[in-house]
Structure 1
Amino acid sequence: MKKVFLRELLESGIIFLENHGIKEPRRNAEIILSHILNKPCYYIYTENLPVSPTIITAYNKILKERGKHIPLQYLLKTVNFYGYNFFIEEGVFIPRPETEILIEKAVEIYKRCLTSLSRIKILDIGTGSGNIAISLLREIKTCYAIATDISENAIKIANYNAKTNRVKSRIKFLQTDIFPPRINKFHMILSNPPYIPNFEISSLDREVGREPITALAGGDDGLNIIKKIIERADMFLYSNGFLLMEIGDKQGKDIKKMRSSLDLLTIEKDFAGIERIAVFHKK
């Protein structure tokens, strides 16, 4: 049997993905192959070794599924967010790099305003895989969290991620719609709510369309859940508390017009210059 070498296998995967209309085919092929080998991507280029039939079979199996435009994170069952690894599977929203700005801003607020407190309480609304709350607990050791999600499957995945990230003792997950059923006070509320207008859902990228619609669709104008959070956040915040929320493109102007007992401090832009994180303060 003819030997197949690493880079030859990589190139065949790139061509396959290209032919199936996958964006960034080389990067996708590199990630898939390095995942199967359990090696960093550079290994493929520095060690052009023969590949076993088992590796070839596993590689081709994932390539075939990726060719159907199933998101790579669902196929590999993992996603890296803010430097931490999270288990992910179909039916749970995939964390995005731009949401890391939410963590950066929360850590900045903690360092500037909350370090005198011995215990920081946060609420994570729409936790999904748990990436926001868990990352913040990893960053701030005095932080304790309640995280909510309407999806039973999301709560199950988030619980698993809390265990693997060793913060299970500092977080409680609740399957509920938006806020906890009982009013508790928090120093920070964080959320990446669904904010895509309903009319845009049908035109989303094929891969985004495989994610749960409840994590994407935000009503006619995309602001349904955002409005509910802004309206009720005051009841759940301590004085000198903060609400940090991810928003969609061009929604900043609408949020600035919303009536609220909270003060809108700033709307931070993401890497693409799009207004992305709204920060509110309760006096």
Structure 2
Amino acid sequence: MSGGGEGSSVADLLAAARLRFADGGVASPELDARLLVAEAFGVDAARLFLAKELPAAAAGRDRLAGFVARRLAGEPVHRILGRRAFYAHDFQLSPDTLEPRPDTEALVDLARAPITECIGHKGRCIVADIGTGTGAIAVSLLALFPEAEAVATDISAGALATAAANAGAAGVAARFRVRLGDHLLALDRPVDVIVSNPPYIPSGDIAALQREVREHDPLRALDGGPDGLRSYRAIANGGRDALLPGGAVAVEIGIGQERDVAAIFAEQGFALETSARDLGGTERALLFRPMGDKEFP
């Protein structure tokens, strides 16, 4: 798809990319072609139809040829773009971060109630995002709640740098700080609400993941240990000590993990308060409160 051999207009190149993706087994050939053509020619994907009949400049054709080759080799479209939309913002990606995915918006929605309650009682709320990655969860919550502050933890310094950059781009950097470390051990003080989308794929299932995930997502952000539940144990074990009175824990879970995760938290004195489903109807996020917890001061 280099040079002008496959058409002289943006529309021609869009049609050619779509066909190559369909023939190559790409799951969403139409969407991926639109996103990559728009990126290659510097056009907003939502307004691409306005530019489709424009002549295709050589620089754009060359960029698109590289994008198409990378996508056909299995690189996810948002890795190629270097960013992905989540909630109300675009988040920059890096090799140290997972892509924020629409399923995780259920976790953000679930965390809104305890944060609202906390702010109502205290006038502010400190949120800890455990395993923050791009910072998508914490940044989205800070954008929703100007009275909130967030501490974002991760075992990857690269991920924390990406998260801090995303917080700056979203205009919430003044209320966002990062801590390097494993799970709750990275916290230096108790918080009001803990949120986490931890690794939850069993180690033995990693090899069977889609090529786009297996070859391009950081494995330690996927691998939840032999049963996929390692991080939930770590968060539940230290959760009561890490929470201020009136606190709550909200976690994302994998398909079919709700009973096991609820049992892990129950063993550590937490009660399951409510849950949330993703857009596909899958139980995706759970909200816990410490049993017998003191109310807000």
Q: Give TM-score, length-normalised by structure 1.
A: 0.94
1:207 aligns with 2:212: yes
Q: Which one of 60, 68, 78 corresponds to residue 63 of structure 1?
A: 68
Counterpart in 2 of 1:118?
A: 123
Q: Following TM superposition, by how much is the alpha carbon of 1:183 offset from its aligned partner in structure 2, in angstroms? A: 4.7
Partner of residue 22, structure 1 = 26
Q: Does 1:96 find its partner at 2:101?
A: yes
1:265–1:280 contact (8 Å) kept in structure 2: yes
2:251 to 227, 245, 254: 245
Give the aligned partner of residue 49 of structure 1: 54
- Mapped contact 1:7–1:44 kept (Cα < 8 A): no
Distance 1:181 1:137 in 2: 20
Shift of 1:268: 1.8
Q: How many residues align?
A: 283
Q: Verify: 1:229 aligned to 2:235, yes or no.
A: yes
1:216 maps to amino acid: L
1:268 corresponds to 2:273: no
> Is the Cα contact below 8 Å between 1:183 and 1:235 reproduced in 2?
no
Corresponding position of 2:288: 280
Structure 1 residue identity aligned to 2:36: I
Cα distance between partner residues in 2 of 1:275 and 1:167: 30
How far 1:143 moved relative to its partner?
0.7
2:222 is aligned, of 216, 219, 244, to 216
How far 1:219 moved relative to its partner? 0.9
TM-fit CA distance, 1:261: 1.6
Aligned to 2:162: 157
- Structure 2 gaps of 5+ residues are none
Q: What does residue 39 of structure 1 align with?
A: 43
The reply on whether 1:127 has 2:154 as its aligned counterpart is no
The answer as to whether partners of 2:129 and 2:138 remain within 8 angstroms in 1 is: yes
- Distance in 2, Cα, partners of 1:183 & 1:111: 23
- CA 1:178 to 1:207, structure 2 compared with 1: closer, same or farther past 3 Å? same
Kindly, what percent of the aligned residue pairs are identical?
A: 29
Counterpart Cα distance in 1 of 2:259 and 2:66: 46
**Aligned-pair CA distance for 1:160:** 1.3
**Structure 1 residues 72 and 90: CA distance shift in structure 2, 3 A:** farther
- Corresponding residue SS for 1:219: coil
Q: Partner residue of 1:12?
A: 16
Give, in angstroms, the shift of residue 19 of structure 1.
2.6
SS at match of 1:179: helix
| Alpha-carbon separation, structure 2, partners of 1:278 and 1:230 | 13
1:181 CA displacement: 4.2
Structure 1 runs, 4 residues or longer, greater than 6 Å off: none
Q: Residue type matched to 1:63 in 2? A: V
Is the CA contact (8 Å cut-off) linking 1:174 and 1:180 kept in structure 2? no
Question: Normalization by structure 2: what TM-score?
Answer: 0.90
